């Protein structure tokens, strides 16, 4: 875990608070997308769309994989409740799994995306507070320099 934290810290080095917060929040939100394999593709598309570091975004994505597995069932249940009890009533196992996946994606969209926006805002505020010179985009000169 310590090695992962050091890699993320190195990837965030030199980024503005907004870019660092965007990288972390997008990586986490897309990393918990409830369909296996899709987060990697979604993070790649988001990296190009938001002009983020692809390797750093994939690092956050891979670190959130255990969370993806942990949230699979709760997101599916939340999506089923939003749809009124599940989207599939047939007898096929594949149909039921597909419906559960759709329920999970709906639950993810309704829960994780708003939480991701909130996470972004909170991370920006926390990072600006931690490094006040970065809030203006210009670091203050060291004492004793003209």
pLDDT at residue 135, as a whole number: 44
DSSP codes of every residue in 107-118: HHHHHHHHHHHH
Count Cβ atoms below 10 Å from residue 17 Cβ, excluding itself: 20
Predicted model pTM: 0.78
Q: For the CA atoms of 11, 14, 17, 21, what is the dihedral angle to 10 degrees?
A: -10
Q: To which residue do tokens 């090695």 refer? A: 3
Q: What's the angle, vertex CA 85, arms to CA 83 and CA 87, rounded to 5?
A: 60
pLDDT at residue 143, as a whole number: 52
Contact 103, 76 (CB under 8 A): yes
Using 50 as the pLDDT threshold, list the residues of the chain that sit under it.
134-141, 145-146
DSSP codes of every residue in 29-98: HHHT-SSTTHHHHHHHHHHHHHT--HHHHHHHHHHTHHHHHHHHHHHHHHHHHHTTS-S--SS-HHHHHH
The predicted-structure confidence for 59-82, as pLDDT tens digits, reads as follows: 999 999 999 999 999 998 998 888
């Amino acid at each position: 875990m310590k090695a992962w934290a050091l890699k993320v810290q190195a990837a965030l080095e030199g980024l503005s608070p907004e870019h660092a917060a965007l990288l972390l929040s997008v990586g986490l939100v897309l990393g918990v997308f409830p369909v296996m394999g899709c987060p990697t593709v979604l993070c790649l598309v988001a990296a190009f769309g938001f002009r983020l570091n692809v390797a750093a975004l994939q690092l956050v994505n891979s670190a959130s994989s255990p969370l993806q597995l942990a949230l699979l069932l709760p997101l599916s249940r939340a999506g089923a409740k939003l749809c009124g009890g599940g989207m599939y009533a047939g007898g096929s196992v594949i149909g039921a799994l597909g419906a559960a996946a759709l329920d999970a994606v709906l639950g993810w969209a309704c829960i994780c995306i708003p939480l991701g926006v909130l996470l972004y805002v909170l991370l920006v505020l926390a990072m600006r507070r931690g490094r006040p010179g970065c809030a203006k985009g210009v670091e203050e000169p060291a004492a004793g320099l003209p």
